[in-house]
Amino acid sequence: MEENTNPTLLSPVTHSGFISIVGKPNAGKSTLVNQLLGQAVAGVSAKPQTTRRRQLVILTTEAYQLILVDTPGLHEPKDKLSQFINSEARYALHDADVIVFLADGSERPDENDAALAELVKEVGGDIPVVLAINKSDSVNPAVLDANRQAFVKLVPAREVLTLSALTGKGITPLLNTLASLVPEGPFYYPEDQVTETFERDIAAEMIRAAAMNELEDEIPYSIATRVDEYSTRENGVIYVKGTIFVERDAQKAIVIGRNGAKIKQIGSAARQEIEKMNGEKVFLDLTVKVRKDWKNDQAFLHELGLTEQG
């Protein structure tokens, strides 16, 4: 009998697919993405609206490739920026092979969770849904179980898992579940690629997340960030020149702080996160500028990549 030399039959079976991670603002989506990948690629803040656009993060092993889509949380569409953020969350569901509904297990489901559950039912169709109950590290077990049962009633899920995106507890079962649900197929990206987003764009998001963490009240939601230069100097240091935009002169003064103290705090925190991301020493040069009503400035939003393409 002739030896079977068909390369298709000899090749190992691989699985690949797009995983859309959805959840209300501050559910912990970006923290989960960073935990799954094992490195910082998404800006993380304790405040909502840290994520404003979809970000693809690629996790590859010998057997599977998971393309994780970190999505913005739904919220009231009060300006052009808000409308774009909501559209990003909706688009992420259409082409998903699996949907992860990330729930804040420290709280009962609210109207935002209910609206998102309806959107998943409406757009998701027959796409398998994994309900991931997050923040198991920060709540009493009895309260966590009660909240879990409430989410189970709300979300039509194929699998229900409990985890902590912050500590990593429960991450391995989630990975195993996702790998079992994505279809058989070839890898879409090179095995060493971890994101579709350029490092300079990730850096801009990390600057914004740092600013959101350091500032109070409504100011964080009036902030936009842009990286104007991202280059390697002769001494091997990564030079990052970034601009923080606010809407009013009074906000600029607050972001800078007395004797520049606040902007130094923001810069130090952002620099540390960028260094974690690229593994290199970073010199971060930040400037603060006023751009009045930028959230309704279509041209400026387009410049920042915060408008629909077409």
* Residue-level pLDDT at 4: 44
Domain 8-181 is classified in which CATH homologous superfamily?
Answer: P-loop containing nucleotide triphosphate hydrolases (3.40.50.300)
The domains of the chain are located at 8-181, 199-303
Cα(267)–Cα(251) distance, integer angstroms? 17
Which two structure tokens, joined as six digits, stand for 159?
A: 């699998």
Cα(194)–Cα(37) distance, integer angstroms? 8
Task: Show pLDDT as tens, one digit a residue, over the chain (310 residues).
Answer: 444 444 444 447 789 999 999 888 778 887 898 888 875 554 443 444 444 445 678 889 889 999 988 776 555 555 666 665 666 666 767 778 999 999 999 999 998 899 889 888 887 678 999 999 999 998 999 999 999 999 999 998 999 999 999 999 999 999 999 999 999 999 988 887 777 666 777 888 889 888 988 887 657 678 888 888 888 888 889 899 999 999 999 999 999 999 999 999 999 999 998 898 788 899 999 999 999 988 888 888 877 776 654 4
Stated pTM of the model: 0.64
- Provide the 10 A C-beta neighbour count for residue 18: 18
Cα(240)–Cα(57) distance, integer angstroms? 22
Q: Of 1.10.3720.10, 3.30.300.20, 3.30.1060.10, 3.40.1410.10, which CATH number belongs to 199-303?
A: 3.30.300.20
